[in-house]
Amino acid sequence: MKPIHWTNVDTPLGRLLLTADPDGALTSLSVPGQKGGRTVQDDWRHDPGPFRAAEEQLAAYFAGELKDFRLPLRTHGTEFRERVWGALDSVPYGATTTYGEIAARIGAPRAAVRAVGGAIGANPLLIVRPCHRVIGADGSMTGYAGGLERKVWLLTLEGVLPA
């Protein structure tokens, strides 16, 4: 089994936990207290080396200077989840979409909105894969594994919500 590399990055949202595979592809980004977030395991390797680009890009994003992350990502989910997560990548900075719109983008029926929500809630790459940009059909700030206050903070940073 290949080792998992990890590091922490201090941000305005708290101390993030980043993991990567041996090739340096980012495999998860968790915020403190995240529902379903990762925690460091004994067999993981603490090594900030593979995360230099992620740290730089996160700092630029939080400073309002970066709109698109360009990092190698590697996630492992069902085919359905991977399709949903891929659709998240197409939601631009400063914009929002709905669960129904994500379902439509991946060719899923409208009835699949709950399943889409479940897949979005299981997104292992918060912030980088922008699940915070998905809102309710009525414009409401619906669930976010990192906490609604962080979702609001991120959408305010991106100019979607007033400061």
Question: Looking at the annotation, which residues are catalytic?
Answer: 131
Angle between helices 113-121 and 79-88 (to 10 degrees): 80
Write 39-48 long-range contacts (CB < 8 A, 24+). Answer: 40/6, 41/4, 43/3, 43/4, 44/3, 44/4, 44/5, 44/6, 44/19, 45/3, 45/4, 45/5, 45/6, 46/5, 46/6, 46/7, 47/5, 47/6, 47/7, 48/7
As a whole number of angstroms, the distance between CA 31 and CA 53 comes to 18
Q: What letter represents residue 134's amino acid? A: V
